[in-house]
Chain A
Amino acid sequence: MIIEHRKKAYIFSAILIGAAIISMVFNMIVSGTGTLGLNLGAQFTGGTLMQMNIDEDFEMTEVRGVLAEHGLEDATLQQVRNRDDEGNLIVEGVMVQTGILDEDTRSNVINSFRENWTIPDEEMMIESTGAAIGEEQTRNSLIAVFVALIGMVIYIAVRFEINFALATIAALIHDLLIVLGVFSILQLEVNLPFVAALLTIVGYSINDSIVIMDRIRENTKYKRKSEYPDAVNTSILQNLTRSINTSLTTLMVLAALMVGFYVFVGSFDLVVFVTAMIIGVVVGTYSSIFVASPLWLTLKEREFRLAAKAKAKAR
């Protein structure tokens, strides 16, 4: 039933991937950088982030004025909100994001804030990353993803066969491209936990595909090739409850994380992590059913055709 409509699934996925690639290339050309068209955060590009909770009323224009004294008119400002004891949303302070500031400038800025408002030490956060460190971390993360991929391909090729490895990796690249595409299209800021999210998606996507591949391997044993499409269909159906249940429970956990981190304004870093994971889980479940499984069949049929041709030639 799914196999008969596999062309439609291929076209749908091709459209999504196309959109992702177009956005990434377009943003790369517009920004003139080799950042995959992603909006890289301070942890990658280098920069300083200061969160100061202000114990009294203040206006954002006043904050801007203080920053201007230090030549930081271009700083990105964000209100930090939280809930008070009665559950009302209150403005608690401000998050200032600038290019990299050295120790002394940072101290001066904080001191000017303190001349205007009371800012408790225990409710302050500072994060400063040098550009070289950021670049290094980007490079290390990309290499890590690549090495992990190679390791997984080798494992699957050894435990299953090469067609399973190819189908699984194709589904994986499909998932990663779509997640990257969404972040590129929406220009959501990407940080270090995002890399962790990508790697988890790698694990999740492969996990999902392998479980179905395991079924296909089992169901195609001792079958003639004309029975393969039915076997793949059966495998997908047998596995459907598991796919849905596992995705649902993972999504429940992620939803809880999202509510925790976002609504109660905990860590913006991890909102990115959770967003990426939610997209990854949905796309990963989809691709294990509609991409990996049919693709394995397509690859297998091609293998049979080639074998038949070789046989015909030999005769």
Chain B
Amino acid sequence: MKNLDFRWVAGLVGACVLLLGASYFIFMHAEREINRGLDIAGGVYVLLEAVDIDEEEAPHEALDRAITIIQHRVDELGVVEPLIQRQGDRRIRVELPGYEDEETARDVIGRTARLSFQGPDGEELLTGEHLDNASAQRNPRDNQPMVMLEFDPEGAELFEEATGRFLGEQITIMLDEEVLSAPVVQEVIPGGTARIDGIGDMDEAGYLATMLRSGALPVDLEEREFRMVGPTLGERTEEIGIWAAAIGLLAVLLFMIFYYRSLGVLAAVTLVFYLGLVLGILTWLNATLTLPGIAGLILSIGMAVDANVLIFERIKEGLKERKTMMASIESGFSNALSAILDANVTTLIAAIVLFAMTTGPVRGFAVTLFIGIICSLLTALIITRLMLRLGLRGKVLRTGPSVGVKVK
């Protein structure tokens, strides 16, 4: 280990520490911040399709209104970062990450929730259209849960008239086909407020108020696709994915170090940084990490290694031709460049086509693949090169067994 140029060696070590430290912070940051898809965070996903939609009558508008209503209902559930979007002309995609109550979610999303007040003869007196607000409260008198209803002016008038007409008789309050309550009218009620009594508990009252407030959907929606993953299952999946990634990465790093010696050590540092870079960009882009995404990420490690292998093999060739280390490194990069570029561009074409033409899990895979290729090009051609030059100046890299070459 004589003849080392310690200033450059210090620079090299500094670069390694910097890259590994940056990677460590990115890993920690990504672990906290990255969006997890339903398959690893758990949650509910539904694809709804509008049926019997009137094509003449601006279908987008009806769907967009339905989306607003669903959005409103979902907000009431308290889901963090729900995704509700129109997909094509007649579909709505709803994703509720971290949500696990399948039945409630379905009710909230798909239910038409039509409120009506009916007279004793079944005549419809007033509907939810005239409802301004509904809220869950406790009755100050007996502390029982109830839902307070507030009508708009027209509704207030209708309600006053109805209570006048059916004084002493039963008025039925219905939600869809279900009888919510059937109170006997005690007095004429002016002022546009009414209440629904006889509700089990406050939770139920809150739920009912939500359904009433968010109103009816303007279109009939049918479920086309449904997916629910319990959070515990998702967590386990993520754990397995991370372990597989760690073991895979470790195996690859050890192989590189074993085979390419000092070149391999520099490559190992670059590869760790590569993984950090990809994760960092995914977090920054607010991309959602799914299981196929993790698979794509792990796979892209293989491609990043390939670029390094191509360069190193060319460097070794140069050394075997008895070129100097410096000349070998330069010719290694320039000779490997065309192969690396052509190979990556073709894979990039596949990733772009996948991204543009598919939805769901395959698309998530395409995103990580795309970012992976770009990052592998950048790290191989810039960072690896920088590291090799530092190693060269510091005389860490020299011809012979330290780079795994026997020169005859």
B30 within 8 Å of A by Cβ?
no
A241 within 8 Å of B by Cβ?
yes
B243 within 8 Å of A by Cβ?
yes
Q: In the bound complex, do residue B354 and residue A192 qualify as a contact, i.e. CB atoms below 8 Å apart?
A: no
Q: In the bound complex, do residue B317 and residue A238 qualify as a contact, i.e. CB atoms below 8 Å apart?
A: yes
Q: In the bound complex, do residue B342 and residue A260 qualify as a contact, i.e. CB atoms below 8 Å apart?
A: no
B69 within 8 Å of A by Cβ?
no
Residues of B250-303 contacting chain A, CB below 8 A: 251-252, 255-256, 259, 291-292, 295-296, 298-299, 301-303
Q: In the bound complex, do residue B251 and residue A252 qualify as a contact, i.e. CB atoms below 8 Å apart?
A: yes
B343 within 8 Å of A by Cβ?
yes
Given contacts A126-B228, A207-B346, A250-B302, contact A256 B103 (CB under 8 A): no
Closest A residue to B106 by CB, please name it: A103
A102, A133, A195, A256: most-surrounded residue (chain B CB, <10 A): A256
Q: What CA separation (Å) do A210 and B348 show in the bound complex?
A: 14
Residues of B157-173 contacting chain A, CB below 8 A: none
B232 within 8 Å of A by Cβ?
yes
Interfacial chain A residues near B225, Cβ < 8 Å: 128-130, 133
Question: Distance (Å) between the CB of B359 and the closest chain A CB?
Answer: 8
Q: What CA separation (Å) do A222 and B63 show in the bound complex?
A: 65
A88 within 8 Å of B by Cβ?
no
Q: What CA separation (Å) do A51 and B347 show in the bound complex?
A: 36
Q: What CA separation (Å) do A171 and B259 show in the bound complex?
A: 29
Interfacial chain A residues near B247, Cβ < 8 Å: 256, 259-260
Q: What CA separation (Å) do A253 and B300 show in the bound complex?
A: 10
Question: Distance (Å) between the CB of B185 and the closest chain A CB?
Answer: 36
Contact stretch, chosen from B134-142, B360-368, B383-391 = B360-368
Main secondary structure of the interface of A (DSSP, over half): helix
Interfacial chain A residues near B344, Cβ < 8 Å: 207
Contact with B along A123-143 (1 / 0, CB 8 A): 111111110110001001101
Residues of B211-251 contacting chain A, CB below 8 A: 223-233, 236-237, 240-241, 243-245, 247-249, 251
Q: In the bound complex, do residue B224 and residue A102 qualify as a contact, i.e. CB atoms below 8 Å apart?
A: no
Contact with B along A143-162 (1 / 0, CB 8 A): 11001100110011001100
B80 within 8 Å of A by Cβ?
no
Interface footprint category on A:
35 or more
The listed residue (A130, A253, A254, A273) touching B292 by CB distance below 8 A is A273
Q: In the bound complex, do residue B240 and residue A246 qualify as a contact, i.e. CB atoms below 8 Å apart?
A: no
Q: In the bound complex, do residue B227 and residue A128 qualify as a contact, i.e. CB atoms below 8 Å apart?
A: yes
Q: What CA separation (Å) do A242 and B339 show in the bound complex?
A: 12
Interfacial chain B residues near A199, Cβ < 8 Å: 350, 354
Interfacial chain A residues near B342, Cβ < 8 Å: 155-156, 159-160, 210, 214
Interfacial chain A residues near B197, Cβ < 8 Å: none
Q: In the bound complex, do residue B252 and residue A266 qualify as a contact, i.e. CB atoms below 8 Å apart?
A: no
The listed residue (B256, B346, B361) touching A192 by CB distance below 8 A is B361
Interfacial chain B residues near A277, Cβ < 8 Å: 299
Interfacial chain B residues near A215, Cβ < 8 Å: 339
A33 within 8 Å of B by Cβ?
no
Interfacial chain B residues near A195, Cβ < 8 Å: 358, 362
Q: What CA separation (Å) do A127 and B102 show in the bound complex?
A: 12
The listed residue (A125, A196, A203, A210) touching B229 by CB distance below 8 A is A125
Q: In the bound complex, do residue A267 and residue B349 qualify as a contact, i.e. CB atoms below 8 Å apart?
A: no
Given contacts A126-B228, A253-B248, contact A267 B237 (CB under 8 A): yes
Question: Distance (Å) between the CB of A274 and the closest chain B CB?
Answer: 8
B28 within 8 Å of A by Cβ?
no
Given contacts A129-B225, A249-B252, contact A261 B244 (CB under 8 A): yes
Q: What CA separation (Å) do A245 and B305 show in the bound complex?
A: 9
Q: In the bound complex, do residue B313 and residue A242 qualify as a contact, i.e. CB atoms below 8 Å apart?
A: yes
Question: Distance (Å) between the CB of B353 and the closest chain A CB?
Answer: 4
Closest B residue to A110 by CB, please name it: B102
B332 within 8 Å of A by Cβ?
no
B42, B237, B252, B306: most-surrounded residue (chain A CB, <10 A): B306
Given contacts A125-B228, A147-B353, contact A270 B362 (CB under 8 A): no
**Closest 4 CB pairs between A and B?**
A260-B244, A256-B248, A250-B302, A253-B248
30 contacts between A and B (CB under 8 A): A110-B102, A122-B230, A129-B224, A140-B359, A144-B358, A155-B346, A193-B362, A195-B362, A196-B365, A196-B366, A200-B296, A200-B369, A210-B342, A210-B346, A211-B310, A245-B313, A246-B305, A249-B251, A249-B252, A249-B306, A253-B252, A253-B302, A254-B299, A255-B248, A257-B298, A260-B240, A266-B237, A270-B291, A270-B292, A274-B295
User: Given A206-B347, A210-B342, 19 other A-B contacts at CB below 8 A?
Assistant: A123-B232, A127-B228, A140-B358, A151-B350, A192-B361, A193-B362, A196-B365, A203-B350, A210-B339, A242-B313, A245-B259, A249-B251, A249-B252, A249-B256, A249-B306, A252-B251, A260-B240, A266-B237, A267-B39
